[in-house]
Chains A and B, each alone.
Chain A
């Protein structure tokens, strides 16, 4: 049994917040994680290897090799036991272990018997998931196997850290354009009928702010806009810096009407925000809103719709929200 540093296992809310910070759940597969699971599978000579992340009520696999499953209920996840402790979890024969002998993945396909899992512990001490290997035959893993898996688990976390830091714009703390587009593509892969909306927002007369008050004032304006957006997003919404003074917001599980109301509220909040660097002037933003539609399958098309609506908002005098569609609405 190999011990790692003491995790914060008694604060589930903070643990879930730590997991959400990575913005990795429900994203497409990424080669660097698949490369690690592939090597783990080879090195430990096991049929199944996975990077498992433990969400509030499910286990979601960022990478899994050897079995075709994307997620499972948390209640049946071996890895849910792994994250509750500070050491590796080893199961030599699940049919002999009271915790797992009635587990559907033991009693049914793929007929799991052995398991070795190491917590994925974040730098701030939260076990957000586990790197694990499994097989259909009983097996006693060695201490060296545990240490090797533990080393691979640290690599998974440092890979997640790079992914996190490289997905955030350093000035505003919002997603980078590339990271936002990953979310947009993942959103389009959701089942038809899922209600979503895309907003493109652009700071009005940003060049004039820079020219008149200097680039530090421009940076301050960007930070105020991003902070206002981040403070008002719901848990599953994302915002990215899409260009110099342009932001993109993806609203999940929202009707067009509610998205319009959200955008309008945001517009008002930003127009009322004080920015000491440009005082007594105020800053405004224009927004183009494009709800998800049945005929939208490409991220580029969706962005184009939002961009057209944004263009209309600018053309109509700025400081307003325009929704793309036959019944274009402008709110000022």
Chain B
């Protein structure tokens, strides 16, 4: 598993009403926005499911952190691809 970067962890202060971190949304190509929103909502649902299943909050944070980092890598590739042509 790759290490995650804390600076990209979504924080409550940096989110908009729909739950998307502002630093993700700014500069995102419009066509990527719906899929990013969907993924972020799925991360929230996963956190809730893990919480309901009794997993410790520090573990949940670690899992989500890893998933965010993983997604971010692909997202950055997608943004770069938009600039390729």
Of chain B, the residue at the smallest CB distance from A149 is B49
Q: Nearest 10 pairs between A and B by C-beta?
A: A166-B78, A144-B53, A151-B46, A158-B39, A35-B70, A151-B49, A154-B42, A32-B70, A176-B81, A161-B35
**B71 → A minimal CB distance (Å):** 6
Query: A36, B84: Cβ atoms under 8 Å?
Result: no
Query: B2, A161: Cβ atoms under 8 Å?
Result: no
Query: A36, B81: Cβ atoms under 8 Å?
Result: no
Query: B50, A43: Cβ atoms under 8 Å?
Result: yes
- In the complex, what distance in Å separates the CA atom of A171 from the CA atom of B39? 24
The answer to whether A151 and B70 touch (CB under 8 A), given A35-B1, A166-B78, A170-B31, is no
Query: A162, B85: Cβ atoms under 8 Å?
Result: no
Q: Would you call B67 an interface residue if the criterion is a C-beta within 8 Å of the partner chain's C-beta atoms?
A: yes
The answer to whether A170 and B53 touch (CB under 8 A), given A39-B67, A154-B42, A159-B39, is no
Residue interface mask A60-84, B partner, CB < 8 A = 1:
0000000000000000000000000
> Would you list which residues of chain B between 29 and 74 have a CB under 8 Å from chain A?
29, 31-32, 35-36, 38-39, 42-43, 45-46, 48-50, 52-55, 63, 66-67, 70-71, 73-74
- In the complex, what distance in Å separates the CA atom of A154 from the CA atom of B67? 13
**B34 → A minimal CB distance (Å):** 9
The answer to whether A151 and B31 touch (CB under 8 A), given A161-B38, A178-B81, is no
Q: What band does the interface of chain A fall in when counting residues whose beta carbon is under 8 Å from B? A: 35 or more
- In the complex, what distance in Å separates the CA atom of A243 from the CA atom of B46? 39
Q: 24 interchain pairs (CB within 8 A)? A: A31-B70, A36-B70, A39-B63, A43-B55, A142-B53, A147-B49, A148-B49, A150-B49, A151-B50, A155-B39, A155-B42, A158-B42, A159-B74, A162-B71, A166-B32, A166-B75, A166-B78, A166-B81, A170-B82, A177-B81, A177-B84, A177-B85, A178-B77, A244-B85
- Tell me how many residues of B have a C-beta within 8 Å of chain A: 35
For B49, list chain A residues within 8 Å (CB): 144, 147-148, 150-151
- In the complex, what distance in Å separates the CA atom of A98 from the CA atom of B70? 40
Query: A162, B75: Cβ atoms under 8 Å?
Result: yes
Of chain A, the residue at the smallest CB distance from B53 is A144
Residue interface mask A153-187, B partner, CB < 8 A = 1:
01100110111011101110000111100000000
For B43, list chain A residues within 8 Å (CB): 155
Of chain B, the residue at the smallest CB distance from A161 is B35
The residue in A142, A158, A159 that gathers the most chain B C-beta atoms within 10 A of its C-beta is: A158
The answer to whether A39 and B84 touch (CB under 8 A), given A163-B74, A170-B31, is no
Query: A31, B45: Cβ atoms under 8 Å?
Result: no
- In the complex, what distance in Å separates the CA atom of A150 from the CA atom of B50? 11
Q: Would you call A113 an interface residue if the criterion is a C-beta within 8 Å of the partner chain's C-beta atoms?
A: no
The answer to whether A162 and B84 touch (CB under 8 A), given A35-B70, A39-B67, A155-B42, is no
- In the complex, what distance in Å separates the CA atom of A152 from the CA atom of B42? 8
- In the complex, what distance in Å separates the CA atom of A151 from the CA atom of B63? 13
- 5 extra A-B contacts, CB within 8 A, seeds A152-B46, A155-B46, A158-B35: A35-B2, A35-B66, A36-B67, A159-B74, A162-B74
